[in-house]
Amino acid sequence: MARFDERFLEDLLARADLAELVSSYVQLEKKGGRLWARCPFHNEKTPSFTVSPDKQMYYCFGCGKGGGIINFVMEIERLNFTEAVEFLARHYHMDLPSQEDESLLRARERLYEANREAARFFHQCLQDPKFSPPWEYIRKRGLTPDTIRRFGIGYAPDGWHALTDHLKAKGFTPSELVQVNLAGEKNGRVYDFFRHRLMFPILDEKGRVVAFGGRTLDPNATGQKYLNTGNTPVFQKKFHLYAYPQARKSDGDRIVLVEGYMDAVSLHQAGIRYAVASLGTSLTPEQARLLAKSGKKEVIIAYDADRAGAAATERAMQILADCGLAVRVLRVPGAKDPDEFVREHGAAGFERLIEQAVDSVTYSLQTAKAGKNLENEEEKAAYVKAAVDRLSRIESPTEREIYAGRVARETDVSVEAILAEVKQLEKRRAAAEKRKQMKIATSPDRLVQPPRETGVRYADPSSAKAEESLISLLSAHPHLAEGKNLQNLAERFTSGELARIYSTLLEKIENNSGIDQGFLHAAMAASLPPEDMQLYSRILAKALPHRRPEQELADLIEHIGKEVDAEGIDPLLLLKEKKRKSGHGGIY
């Protein structure tokens, strides 16, 4: 088996789309968050073959075959690993790396260099007196020369070949320019991707230019106001935040999270140097983890107040809280965005808004109450129901009672009644969870044991379920393994197959800091034997969402290690307990 550089596999997987490839062999139908089809590997009447686009994994609940896109090609085309990678490289028009030199590494570095040279070109064009159009917009927005310099803001000329001609003269190939979205291609000829736009370079955490956002300067333009770099071998939007390198160096423990480039730039110019933009309203878990890595403790969300912004704020609050960050929400009055407000009221005015920012629970309650007439019994009941749902997610009894008191005062419903509703909701959720666990406990072979076709049988289904859960958790949240000594836990696994998968998973996470889920699964596919990869795919395919990752990790470590740590206990009692759990499935 030829060994491909992991950077090449990362580039290949960044381009590859499992759903697109599978759909050329079978017809996929969307149900929930997955795609389903009749399995191409065995005859069946009811679809049990599923593709998870977010994980870039497939699994058949009928025959047990599963894996990533490389595994699929190996199975469907009857190829070995090397041949499958070559098949995909041809399919996605990628040159295979030479094994005689480090050309792949150099090729990647050249993409960074192309972006850096493009940023210099755009910045120089902005300084050139012959390019006057961008300055009307710059003066309108009040940008200073110092701000333009610090953020490397530039101008993409209104032509089809200004940048491409410049970069080709610097030695860059048309292929390289297309790879990083600096150029488009039509009929074999390349053209500038960005034209007549104010350009905002996007830097990664190492300060390298990895992408651009371009704001149109044509007042009559009917297309996109902002044009952004798509995913490339050196840039995936979900891993980056605009102005992050500058904000990370700011004093204090807080970050202000805004939507747009100009919001962040204007705040920095006003002296609020801790602002970042999420490149749109959908904050990703990867971006949240980047904020957590910055060392800042608190994030203040300052998204737009429209419906999309409110929904995005609710999502972002949970994602940030899952990363251990304190969260508050800032409302900009007058339906203005942060850029408009800070230009009108200055840093002092915006800092007053920051001090008035509310905690996440208050924000959720305010949002639930907005537009409701609490004199109307139906609308009051709807508000109380929404409030009860939010209060049920507060862990601290004291904090819960404080907010319940607030809702009581607003609605003339007693605190006792509201807390009773919260307890009833918790009981219903607990009962539902118990039913789910009992189903697992009473049917361990059906829900825990792998299909018999795989040849894998768990000696202790209860322990194996916890081991599967740990693998699933770290696959979905690889950052949880950072800074923790989890290697020795493999010795405590009751399943040898799961221990191998777990050890390989930790190795991939430790060797690739900040690894993307899609590439993590590809790296696993490159390292695991087919039978282990099928088991790994099954684990991910049937995994439930991890609502509280940090707590789940602590619980799973305790569960898996508890018998090994029980030194001094009569071994006959331990054996008896293990047999009891094996016979009844157990609930962990």
Q: Strand locations in 296-409, DSSP E? A: 298-301, 326-329, 358-359
Contacts of 275 (CB under 8 A, 6+ apart): 243, 247, 255, 256, 257, 258, 263, 264, 267, 268, 338
Question: Which of the given ranges, 311-325, 432-446, 503-517, has the highest pLDDT on average?
Answer: 311-325
DSSP characters over 173-233: -HHHHHHTTSEEEETTEEEESS-SEEEEEEE-TTS-EEEEEEEE--TT--S-SEEE---BT
- Across 122-140, average pLDDT: 91
Task: Say if CB 221 and CB 233 are below 8 A apart.
Answer: no
CATH classification for the domain delimited by 244-366, as one of 2.120.10.30, 3.30.70.100, 3.40.1360.10, 3.10.180.10: 3.40.1360.10
Q: Is the pLDDT of residue 443 over 60?
A: no
DSSP characters over 102-166: -HHHHHHHHHHHHHHHHHHHHHHHHHSTT--HHHHHHHHHT--HHHHHHHT-EEE-SSSSHHHHH
CATH superfamily of 6-91: Zinc finger, CHC2-typedomain (3.90.580.10)
Confidence of residue 439 (pLDDT cuts 50, 70, 90): low
- Cα 470 to Cα 339: distance, rounded to the nearest angstrom: 44
Nearest Cα neighbor of 415 from 391, 382, 444 is: 391
Q: Is the pLDDT of residue 563 over 60?
A: no
Share above pLDDT 90 across residues of the chain, in percent, rounded to a whole number: 39
pLDDT tens digits for range 142-168: 999 999 999 999 999 998 999 999 999
Amino acid identity, position 405:
G
- Across 28-43, average pLDDT: 83
- Cα 456 to Cα 262: distance, rounded to the nearest angstrom: 56
pLDDT tens digits for range 173-184: 999 999 999 999
- Cα 440 to Cα 438: distance, rounded to the nearest angstrom: 5
- Across 50-61, average pLDDT: 82
Residue 238: DSSP 8-state? G
- Cα 96 to Cα 174: distance, rounded to the nearest angstrom: 18
Q: Is pTM beyond 0.75 here?
A: no
Q: Which H/E stretch holds residue 35?
A: strand 34-37
Per-residue pLDDT, 564: 41
| CA distances to 21, 301, 450, 476 from 548, in Å | 34, 21, 26, 12
Nearest Cα neighbor of 497 from 474, 471, 523 is: 471
Q: Which H/E stretch holds residue 290?
A: helix 285-293
Q: Record the tokens describing residue 20, joined without a space.
A: 């697109």
Task: Say if CB 154 and CB 124 are below 8 A apart.
Answer: yes
- Cα 511 to Cα 492: distance, rounded to the nearest angstrom: 23
Q: Is the pLDDT of residue 574 over 50?
A: no
Q: Is the pLDDT of residue 336 over 80?
A: no
pLDDT tens digits for range 90-119: 888 887 766 544 565 678 889 999 999 999
- Cα 59 to Cα 192: distance, rounded to the nearest angstrom: 41
Task: Say if CB 25 and CB 16 are below 8 A apart.
Answer: no
The strand pairing partners of 327, in sequence order, are 299
Q: Record the tokens describing residue 46, joined without a space.
A: 């009811």
Residue 235: DSSP 8-state? B
Q: Is the pLDDT of residue 365 over 90?
A: yes
Mean pLDDT value across the chain: 84
- Across 460-471, average pLDDT: 86
In terms of Cβ atoms closer than 10 Å to its own Cβ (0-12, 13-18, 19+), residue 351 is middle
Confidence of residue 581 (pLDDT cuts 50, 70, 90): very low
Q: Is the pLDDT of residue 221 over 80?
A: no
Confidence of residue 398 (pLDDT cuts 50, 70, 90): very high
Q: Which H/E stretch holds residue 18?
A: helix 18-22
- Cα 519 to Cα 557: distance, rounded to the nearest angstrom: 25
Phi/psi at 423 (5° precision): -65, -40
pLDDT tens digits for range 347-356: 999 999 999 9
Amino acid identity, position 452:
R
Compute how many other C-beta atoms are within 10 angstroms of the C-beta atom of residue 584. 13
Per-residue pLDDT, 446: 56
The strand pairing partners of 214, in sequence order, are 199, 227
For β-strands 326-329 and 298-301, DSSP reports them as parallel
- Cα 128 to Cα 155: distance, rounded to the nearest angstrom: 10
Task: Say if CB 506 and CB 474 are below 8 A apart.
Answer: yes
Calculate the CA 305 to chain-centre distance: 23
338 or 540, greater pLDDT: 338
562 or 239, greater pLDDT: 239
Q: Record the tokens describing residue 12, joined without a space.
A: 């290949």
Nearest Cα neighbor of 496 from 521, 524, 531 is: 531
Per-residue pLDDT, 208: 92
- Across 272-282, average pLDDT: 88
Phi/psi at 300 (5° precision): -110, 115
Q: Is the pLDDT of residue 257 over 90?
A: yes
CATH classification for the domain delimited by 444-584, as one of 1.10.10, 3.10.450, 1.10.860, 2.20.28: 1.10.860
Q: Is the pLDDT of residue 582 over 50?
A: no
pLDDT tens digits for range 500-524: 999 999 888 887 765 656 567 767 8
Q: Is the pLDDT of residue 197 over 90?
A: yes
90 or 527, greater pLDDT: 90
Amino acid identity, position 410:
E
Fold assignment, 103-234: DNA primase DNAg catalytic core, N-terminal domain (3.90.980)
Q: Record the tokens describing residue 86, joined without a space.
A: 């070559």
| CA distances to 39, 148, 243, 246, 278 from 264, in Å | 49, 13, 7, 10, 10
Q: Is the dihedral of CA 551, 557, 562, 567 positive or negative?
A: negative
Task: Indicate the SS3 state at residue 67.
Answer: strand
Task: Say if CB 505 and CB 468 are below 8 A apart.
Answer: no
Compute how many other C-beta atoms are within 10 angstroms of the C-beta atom of residue 415. 15
Confidence of residue 567 (pLDDT cuts 50, 70, 90): very low
Per-residue pLDDT, 339: 92
Confidence of residue 475 (pLDDT cuts 50, 70, 90): confident
Per-residue pLDDT, 319: 85
Calculate the CA 108 to chain-centre distance: 23
- Cα 385 to Cα 377: distance, rounded to the nearest angstrom: 12
